Structure 1
Amino acid sequence: MPESAHASQARLEHLIAQFAGTRALVLGDAILDRYIWGSVERVSPEAPVPVVHIQSQTEMLGGAANVAANLAALGARAEFVGAIGDDAEGAALAALLGEIGAPRSGLAKLSGRPTTVKTRVLSMGQQIVRLDREDTAPFGDAMRRRLLDRFARALPRADVAILSDYAKGVLCGPVCEEAIRLAKRAGKIVVVDPKGTDYRRYRGADAIKPNQREAAAASGVAIDSEASLERAARAILRIVRGRAVVISRSGEGAAVFERGRPAEFVRARARAVFDESGCGDSFIAALALGLARGATAAEAAALGNLAGSVVVGKLGAASATREELLDALDPGRAQRKLRGATQLKAELAMLRAAGKRIVFTNGCFDLFHLGHIKFLERARQLGGALVVAINSDASVRRVKGPPRPVLDQDSRAAILSAIDAVDFVVLFDEDTPERLLRELRPDVLVKGKGLKEQQIVGAEIVEAQGGRTVSLPLFGETTTDAMVEKIARQPATAMRSKQAPPDSR
């Protein structure tokens, strides 16, 4: 079967740009993903198992709630409807939803049933064990009505509805059927990430996205070729009676099947695999947003495949941002190294999990000179990744006064990105980088010009978080301020006399 000419890069970029402000509603199983990070130096004398010295703990949205997190990361306005327990984990999950801008009114609290929690213990980026706390028994009629009431109230605000089934009790047959009926009656697009083998409960959904293993189980067709893949997909289409079946195929990309149309195949994008958990959540989020913005099923699948390819290089139930999707479309774009704070925070978490020390420095970096390069090279030697935070144009004007900056923020970011010692560049609008330091939590804060450590802005923040501050000497006698003053002292006639004569050829 031929590979689909599913969309041009320009078309996909256009669709990604339209994600901003799209309203998406998720109904499904909320999970709190907990990560315990530690070091292993010995084996327990009690049993042949490693002893983990706990160093830190993080919590993230998981399950269907991670779909909402991915929607928000892609620029959409996400709402979530699901169930939590009346416990500390439920409160933590609700707080995380609040952080992505999702209203907590969609959460139905149930006493006597715990919030689903998956706890992973890791050392040096490797998962040692996973501990699950859950109750997957079906919900009673009263709880089902509460969930459907919340879903119905949120529907008018949505452009697309996503049913994300993790088989934890929310999306039983009656809830699925009624939710799809309500959404279709309201004229909404419905996209399903299914679970189990009985797909009749998803009947009427516009698109359904099983992976290849799930498609084989639901259709009863053993998939060992593209022909058998199509037979399985056509069987699912007959069951669901929807518009499209999109089958994700891991390293082989995705396959799209629609009524009355030939199959289309979306090739995979080569990426280093760090952790496959959460890829399906990213895929369904981008797929749904694409359909909501008028993409064809094949174009939406290409967007989903793109998002999955980004997340597979991260640790845990992570999210893909619009910037990362654009970087994946155009690898040369990523070389600029400029990141937003939210995206950078996620990337730094992955580097820490791999045992990397994060080094942070900041400045205006207006009019670059040799001293800057030597300083950055030395700073990079202090850890495994160097983050350079630069003042925005507005910030430089406040701090330095007009006519600074000489170079605008885009030019300064591009120059820094071209330096091998720099791993990431991030902008800040405030006068100081204190907000970024609290958010990014670097291990080392480094500044130059021979400043005393107590003179370094943010030193107390980094040290309170367990990091340290390093002061490097002035490399050379040149400073940006001195360069600007020297240029300003040059008379205009002298500057013109030093210009090269025009080319007479």
Structure 2
Amino acid sequence: MRIVVVGDVLLDVDISGTSERLSPDAPVPVVDVTGSSVRAGGAGLVAVLLAADGAEVELVTALSDDARSHDMRRALAGVRTIAGHSSGPTPVKTRVRTNDHAVTRLDEGCGAVAAPRVTAAMLESVAGADAIIVSDYGRGLAADPALRTALERRRSGVPLVWDPHPRGARPVASATVVTPNLAEAAAFTGHAAQGVTGAADAAGALAASWGCGSVVVTLGALGALLLTQPATGRPAGGPALPLLVPAVAVGAADVCGAGDRFAASLTLALAGGAGLADAVAAAVQAAGVFLTAGGVSALGRPAGPAPDAALGAVELAGAVRSAGGTVVATGGCFDLLHAGHARTLAAARRLGDCLIVCLNSDDSVRRLKGDHRPILGQQDRVDLLLALECVDAVLVFDEDTPETALGSIRPHLWVKGGDYAGATLPEAALVQSWGGQSVTVPYIAARSTTLLAGALARVG
């Protein structure tokens, strides 16, 4: 499986440092540089990301022969590159960050240039690809007539993802999907596009204008909106309904490279045979993981272990506690989530600054409830809980009681439903040992998993 990345490469330079004083010459910060790094940007970043994913990648691009081109070639080490000649300088974008905050960006050689030269080898690479992604950064390569013809004539069944640029070329009509972000979609349509409604309107207008079947507008923290038009035109009942794939909040301050990660992952999923909707969902998730891991700043670091849900809950509790906030926890099986659960959880969240749910594992539930339980598996129960806005983290425990889990997060408040009022909780003494308090919230009568399961059995 060979993925060909077609597009413009940039050289990204990151300068990091500290700033504790202003210059005596002008009211600007003085940056004491502590480090710098050079990496491939634009289509080069897409190719590097795909290579890191283990894909067989070829990069079809144009390279200059100036001094910075040597840095570019080193940044592309490990990526097979088939390049034409660019008469312009190597575009360089230098970001300066101090104390984890962006200060400024310096652009060199990023203006308009003459169209690069496209070679026969570049066209042959496109013709033989198993999947193609065009990463257009507006420097003329994607506008070359011969290259566009090769893209339009790609082999049947080969997915083509086009990541456009407002100063770039019009996507070819045969593109499988075009992936503007919301600002780009607004620039392409000439109208302000805001939120989901604006994204849906822009996606429809762009699909009609470009003649492509699908447009996915990336929405940052909101996720991505996919609009696919039927091959035979719109159905008689009205326009096609868009699919909104929400993102998981990651709180990343630096989102540089997230769009490239999205496009690369989308292409990789399509190349593997995924349907478009599933591929978009995989790409949204991959972009979130990329940002959580540090984004482009983490490129080149050794890969760490996969994120651990328990560690996440412990880190959340520690962060809230360090900030002077109140950590609230509750626990249970939460099998067949119902209105009583939701109200208890919402009430618990109002008592503090975060709510962590200690959840019995499948084995723990079976020991407590019998072999017929749980009705829903552990991961489904985790997903349902995390879908509630009032739940900040879930910590799964395998013991019969939550003492070990509680000891790892040390909540200020341990909350149970009102059906425990007056009861003696084995874990209450443990919570009290670090100064915490066990409390109950009002019980919602006639709401229980047992009653719900019985009702379902009767209608089944």
**TM-score bracket for the superposition, by shorter chain length:** 0.5 to 0.7
- Residue 161 (str. 1) matches residue 132 (str. 2): yes
- State the match for 1:121 in structure 2: 96
> Which one of the candidate residues 84, 89, 92 is aligned to 1:108?
84
Report the Cα offset of residue 71 of structure 1. 0.9
Using a 3 Å threshold, how does the CA distance of structure 1 residues 305 and 130 change in structure 2: closer, same or farther?
same
> Which one of the candidate residues 186, 202, 207 is aligned to 1:216?
186
- State the match for 1:42 in structure 2: 21
- State the match for 1:444 in structure 2: none
Report the Cα offset of residue 82 of structure 1. 1.4
Alignment of 1:347-358 (within 5 A): none
- Identity rate of aligned residues, in percent? 34
Going by fraction, where is helix more abundant, 1 or 2?
1
Report the Cα offset of residue 256 of structure 1. 1.1
Query: What number of residue pairs does the alignment pair up?
Result: 307
> Which one of the candidate residues 156, 172, 186 is aligned to 1:202?
172
Report the Cα offset of residue 154 of structure 1. 1.7
Using a 3 Å threshold, how does the CA distance of structure 1 residues 293 and 331 change in structure 2: closer, same or farther?
farther
Report the Cα offset of residue 131 of structure 1. 1.0
Letter in 1 for 2:97: L
CA RMSD of aligned residues (A): 3.2
- State the match for 2:282 in structure 1: 303
> Which one of the candidate residues 148, 160, 163 is aligned to 1:193?
163
Letter in 2 for 1:37: S
- State the match for 1:253 in structure 2: 223
Using a 3 Å threshold, how does the CA distance of structure 1 residues 65 and 198 change in structure 2: closer, same or farther?
closer
Report the Cα offset of residue 199 of structure 1. 6.7
- Residue 144 (str. 1) matches residue 144 (str. 2): no
**Alpha-carbon contact 2:138-2:166 (below 8 Å) kept:** yes
- Residue 63 (str. 1) matches residue 42 (str. 2): yes
- Residue 130 (str. 1) matches residue 74 (str. 2): no
Report the Cα offset of residue 164 of structure 1. 0.5
Using a 3 Å threshold, how does the CA distance of structure 1 residues 57 and 230 change in structure 2: closer, same or farther?
closer
Alignment of 1:245-284 (within 5 A): 245-260=215-230, 261-284=240-263
- State the match for 2:368 in structure 1: none
Report the Cα offset of residue 315 of structure 1. 4.8
**Alpha-carbon contact 2:6-2:133 (below 8 Å) kept:** yes
Q: What TM-score results when the alignment is normalised by the length of structure 1?
A: 0.55
Letter in 1 for 2:84: A
Letter in 1 for 2:105: R
Q: Deviations over 1:342-384 (max 9, x none)?
A: xxxxxxxxxxxxxxxxxxxxxxxxxxxxxxxxxxxxxxxxxxx
Alignment of 1:327-338 (within 5 A): 327=306, 331=309
Using a 3 Å threshold, how does the CA distance of structure 1 residues 197 and 166 change in structure 2: closer, same or farther?
closer
Using a 3 Å threshold, how does the CA distance of structure 1 residues 153 and 128 change in structure 2: closer, same or farther?
same
Q: Distance in 2 between matches of 1:51 and 1:79?
A: 42
For 1:283, what is the secondary structure of its paired residue?
A: helix
Using a 3 Å threshold, how does the CA distance of structure 1 residues 132 and 228 change in structure 2: closer, same or farther?
closer
Q: Deviations over 1:148-207 (max 9, x none)?
A: x3332223553111111111332236366334224x256532110011178744322111
Q: Distance in 2 between matches of 1:134 and 1:243?
A: 35
Report the Cα offset of residue 67 of structure 1. 0.7
Using a 3 Å threshold, how does the CA distance of structure 1 residues 254 and 58 change in structure 2: closer, same or farther?
same
For 1:152, what is the secondary structure of its paired residue?
A: helix
For 2:27, what is the secondary structure of its paired residue?
A: coil
Report the Cα offset of residue 233 of structure 1. 1.5
Q: Structure 1 residues 127-136 or 114-123, which shifts more?
A: 127-136
Using a 3 Å threshold, how does the CA distance of structure 1 residues 272 and 201 change in structure 2: closer, same or farther?
closer
Q: Which runs of 5+ in 1 are unaligned?
A: 1-21, 338-417, 421-505
For 1:128, what is the secondary structure of its paired residue?
A: strand
Using a 3 Å threshold, how does the CA distance of structure 1 residues 224 and 233 change in structure 2: closer, same or farther?
same
Report the Cα offset of residue 60 of structure 1. 1.0
Q: Distance in 1 between matches of 2:60 and 2:298?
A: 20
- State the match for 1:235 in structure 2: 205
Using a 3 Å threshold, how does the CA distance of structure 1 residues 320 and 302 change in structure 2: closer, same or farther?
farther
Letter in 1 for 2:89: P
Report the Cα offset of residue 78 of structure 1. 1.6
Letter in 2 for 1:278: G
For 2:49, what is the secondary structure of its paired residue?
A: helix
- State the match for 1:13 in structure 2: none
Q: What TM-score results when the alignment is normalised by the length of structure 2?
A: 0.60
Report the Cα offset of residue 121 of structure 1. 2.0
Q: Which runs of 5+ in 2 are unaligned?
A: 231-239, 316-404, 409-460
**Alpha-carbon contact 1:61-1:97 (below 8 Å) kept:** yes
Using a 3 Å threshold, how does the CA distance of structure 1 residues 222 and 77 change in structure 2: closer, same or farther?
same
Q: Distance in 2 between matches of 1:200 and 1:49?
A: 41
**Alpha-carbon contact 2:142-2:168 (below 8 Å) kept:** no
- State the match for 1:77 in structure 2: 56
For 1:269, what is the secondary structure of its paired residue?
A: coil
Letter in 1 for 2:163: D
Report the Cα offset of residue 52 of structure 1. 2.1
Report the Cα offset of residue 61 of structure 1. 1.1
Q: Distance in 1 between matches of 2:252 and 2:109?
A: 28
- Residue 95 (str. 1) matches residue 74 (str. 2): yes
Q: Deviations over 1:90-113 (max 9, x none)?
A: 111112212xx2123x123445x2
Letter in 2 for 1:127: A
Q: Distance in 2 between matches of 1:197 and 1:84?
A: 19
**Alpha-carbon contact 2:255-2:291 (below 8 Å) kept:** yes
For 1:239, what is the secondary structure of its paired residue?
A: helix
**Alpha-carbon contact 1:256-1:263 (below 8 Å) kept:** yes
Using a 3 Å threshold, how does the CA distance of structure 1 residues 81 and 198 change in structure 2: closer, same or farther?
closer
Q: Distance in 1 between matches of 2:67 and 2:109?
A: 14
Letter in 2 for 1:144: R
**Alpha-carbon contact 1:278-1:318 (below 8 Å) kept:** no
- State the match for 2:397 in structure 1: none
**Alpha-carbon contact 1:311-1:320 (below 8 Å) kept:** no
Q: Deviations over 1:477-497 (max 9, x none)?
A: xxxxxxxxxxxxxxxxxxxxx
**Alpha-carbon contact 1:155-1:186 (below 8 Å) kept:** no
For 2:16, what is the secondary structure of its paired residue?
A: strand
**Bigger relative contact order, structure 1 or 2, given CA contacts below 8 A and separation 6+?**
1
Q: Distance in 2 between matches of 1:169 and 1:197?
A: 9
**Alpha-carbon contact 2:269-2:282 (below 8 Å) kept:** yes
For 1:114, what is the secondary structure of its paired residue?
A: coil
Report the Cα offset of residue 331 of structure 1. 4.1
Using a 3 Å threshold, how does the CA distance of structure 1 residues 315 and 225 change in structure 2: closer, same or farther?
closer
